[in-house]
Structure 1
Amino acid sequence: MDTSPRALLLQKVMRRIPRQRLNATLEKWGLLPLEQRESLDFTQSTRELTETLLDLCQKHDFSVKHIAGLEMTYVMDFPEKRKWHALHLQNQGDDAASVDLTHFKETFKTHLTEITRQVCLNVRKHTDDAIWIRIAWGDMRSQESQPNHLKAVYIVHYLQTPYAFTTTLTSQQKLIIFQALGFATGFSSVNDANLTGMSLTAIKDLLIRNYQQVSPAMRRSTIETRKCLDKNPQIVGEQLADAEMRHELACEAFGDQELPQLQTVVYKLETKFRDDTHTTEDPIRCTVKFSSTNVLESLRDCAQKGIVSTPVSHLLSLITREGRNVFHVADTRPRGSQQDADRTNP
């Protein structure tokens, strides 16, 4: 069995691409001639089909970087198969707005290879003006290490926006990529946006407010519609009024349209035990996590049904208002203070 990096990567890619999507993915990859694609027998087992493709790759002398392009084609079509982390590019320079693909690609690659040569990059521009970068890293502790294409990371940057998105990075990779993004985009700092999710489209839309948020006029129209639909002689007026109020307050917090699909919302809480005479030195920490296939829809539904009290807590409404789903909440009261102490840190 071939154990070369090219063969191992192709085996991994073939295991991930659904059989019904394989032909379309190979067509988008664009490196195999039509007659060779048509000659493939998609009824074969994955192993047999992989061996056939590997023979074709050897015939065309495709390198591991070419196979990395096949994986990249699949990931660009199915980004929801990975977990994405949002980054916020800040302190824009004078030339940041004029950055184009060529400048970004050359500057990013130059800075990255100046720091470490144990990398292999694939860069593409998607149809929605997004720049996609695939990076295979070697062991930066060894000058002889080769890039590991089985553990590549992805970066997506939408031109003319101060946001980028990455798959999971190590702390060392994060430092290098933050620096390279800053140089390539003209921003002087890159920070974690405290927003993660499996749907790249959802977290992008949440950050740049690219989804329809409900307006006061729209809410009034929706309430009037619900009054007509919900009227039932068996429902007393007070119950109907409460239901309408809960719906309106839920709309104020989350809107009345389809919401971006987030899977989790995390609150990291920190406080100290205190009374009038004593405060503990060591903080008490805990984490509260909400999980759902669409956590925003679930929270709105809970508010509408009275499971969550209304008006909705500002800690929940901040998800859509600030475009975040990771929050750090600290108790900052001095000893003896009775004022509200919750503070959400950036």
Structure 2
Amino acid sequence: MDDTTKRLVQRLVKRIPAQMLRTTLDKWDRLTGEQKKSMDFTQSKWALTEKMLDLCEVNGLSVKHLTELEMIYIIDNPNKGMWYAFQLMDPQDDAHSVELMQFKEQFKSHLKELVRHVSIKIKKHTDEAVWIRIAWGDTFARPNHLKPTYVVHYLQSPYVFVTSLTLKQKPLLSQALVLSTRYQAIKDANLSGRKLTAIRDLLMRKYQQVFPTKYPSPLPENNPTISSIETFFVLLQMACEAFGGGMLPQLQSAVYKLETKFRDNSNKTMSEREEPFKCVVKFASTNLLESFRHCASSGIASTPVTPLLSCIPLKGRNYFVITDNGPGPSSQMRQPQN
């Protein structure tokens, strides 16, 4: 067993919780029933690692087999890293007809033309997602299996989700994706998060959307008894129209980068500066959309909901840059840029 295989075994056993390791090994199916029974998952991670090393040595398992084990764990537990969304642009006429085998062959072929040493493994998940594991090398170095990139793409859709990608690797992956999917370009979707399912559901509209009623009701005036009930339902309707109904994607943050003129007549030093005033505002929560919806429906936040917040589900984004329409301090603030 070479050093890379040993280090990968150590990394996987350390990363996967002991009880989850049992079910992951069952799906892996590279160990016999007797071998799996011989493992005591109550032991320390050090003891489990030594046992796994012995079993891999006996079975002659290599890096190729261990990357299968890693993919099984990552696919079953996708909410472990930071995921970034991208959108393919300008499809060719035959983009909708690209099938899995065709995509696999062309993606591997294109990427291997760009990178001399690269290891690629592709697996289709039960929800139709195509999972890609890429271990990058270069002209002189062999693929680094300890720092792989994971890519998730739904065929017949323009969306791609990526984690653990460096700036050097980004153009290489982008070119391989564009060529193998029959699109002409790819752009950053300005959407990221630690929960793959959340950014996927937000971007692909996999949540209950609530549309405005034909004849929206105005907020009732402060009348006795029933006005509070009517107000609640009107606020709830408006909040659901802005953020969605039912269970919402568990987006955890939204970032607004402001590049505007400083507006304060009492502070001419700042307001007369030609350079824009820059700052970053970040909202964070375990479920940001649910928090915004609750604030709007309970009256904590004003309604109708400002487009600065409602554009998160509307545009499927959580990163925005806000600038001025013109150079002067009297210019109006733009909506978040596309």
| Native 8 Å contact 1:274 1:335 kept in 2 | no
Contact 1:270 1:284 in 2 (8 A): yes
> Is 2:287 the counterpart of 1:294?
yes
Shift of 1:239: 3.9
Pairwise CA distance, 1:102: 1.2
Q: d(CA) in 1 for partners of 2:199 and 2:169?
A: 22
The residue that corresponds to 1:267 in the other structure is 256
Q: Does 1:321 align with 2:320?
A: no
Which residue matches 1:243?
232
2:336 match: 344
1:105 is matched with: 104
Secondary structure at the counterpart of residue 79 of structure 2? helix
- How much is the aligned-residue C-alpha RMSD, in angstroms? 2.5
Contact 2:207 2:249 in 1 (8 A): yes
User: What amino acid is the match of 1:330?
Assistant: T
When normalised by structure 2's length, the TM-score is 0.90
1:196 counterpart SS class: strand
- The size of the alignment, in residue pairs, is 329
Alignment of 1:191-230 (within 5 A): 191-216=187-212
Distance 2:272 2:326 in 1: 11
Cα gap change, 1:44/1:273 in structure 2, threshold over 3 Å: closer, same or farther?
closer
Residue 164 of structure 1 pairs with residue 160 of structure 2: yes
Match of 2:303 in 1: 310
In the alignment, is the contact (CA less than 8 A) between 1:279 and 1:335 conserved in 2? Answer: no
Range with bigger deviation, 123-132 or 208-217: 208-217
1:252 aligns with 2:241: yes
Q: What residue is the counterpart of 1:13 in the other structure?
A: 12
Q: Percent identity?
A: 50
Instruction: Write the deviation string for residues 105-162 of structure 1: whole angstroms up to 9, x where unpaired.
Output: 1111111111112321111111111110111122x3xx33122222111000011111
2:114 maps to what in 1?
Answer: 115
Indicate how the Cα distance of structure 1 residues 219 and 254 shifts in structure 2: closer, same or farther if over 3 A, else same.
farther
Equivalent position of 1:227 in the other structure: none
Q: Secondary structure at the match of 2:140?
A: coil
> Counterpart of 1:248 in structure 2: which amino acid?
Q
Q: Distance in 1 between matches of 2:297 and 2:230?
A: 12
Q: Is the 8 A contact 2:8 2:66 kept in 1?
A: yes
Letter in 2 for 1:31: R
Q: Is the 8 A contact 2:98 2:155 kept in 1?
A: yes
Cα displacement (A) at 1:38? 2.2
Deviations 1:179-212 (A, max 9, x none): 1110111111111111111221121111111211
Aligned to 2:59: 60
C-alpha deviation, 1:316, in angstroms: 0.7
TM-score normalised over the length of structure 1: 0.88
Q: Deviations over 1:262-314 (max 9, x none)?
A: 01011111112479998533222111110001000011111122222111101
Counterpart amino acid of residue 60 in structure 1 = N
Moved more, 237-246 or 97-106: 237-246
Contact 2:148 2:164 in 1 (8 A): no
Q: Is the 8 A contact 2:86 2:187 kept in 1?
A: yes
Aligned-residue offset at 1:216: 4.4
User: Mind listing any 5+ residue stretches in structure 2 that lack a counterpart?
Assistant: 218-223
Q: Is the 8 A contact 2:18 2:42 kept in 1?
A: no
Partner of 2:220: none
